[in-house]
Amino acid sequence: MGGVDDELEITRTDCPQCGAEVSGIEGRYACTLCGWTNDWSQGHRPLPEPEEAPEPPLPLR
């Protein structure tokens, strides 16, 4: 981890449903204006396997 290949890329596209510009991470998008989302499989690279995914942070108390 920590190499250039591990860094996330912020990507942009136009929402095919309402035309608004949407930003996403690695080609995965959700439009806040109309609710459109693209399928997870349309991202630019595969999602990490569960063993590779980082642990979520502990909730604040």
**Each residue's pLDDT tens digit, 19-40:** 999 999 999 999 999 999 999 8
Lookup: tokens for 20: 């608004």
| Domain of 23, in residue numbers | 4-42
Residue 21 falls inside a structural domain: yes
Return the pLDDT at 5. 57
Residue 58 falls inside a structural domain: no
Residue 13 falls inside a structural domain: yes
- Count of CB atoms situated within 10 Å of the CB of 27: 14
CA dihedral 28, 42, 52, 32 (to 10 degrees): 20
Residue 49 falls inside a structural domain: no
Strand order in the sheet with 28-29: 10-14, 21-25, 28-29
What would the mean pLDDT of 8-28 be, rounded to a whole number? 94
Number of domains in the chain: 1
Residue 59 falls inside a structural domain: no
Residue 56 falls inside a structural domain: no
Is-above-0.85 flag for pTM?
no
CA angle (1, 41, 36) in 5-degree steps: 115
Residue 25 falls inside a structural domain: yes
8-12, 14-18, 26-30, 53-57, range with the lowest pLDDT = 53-57
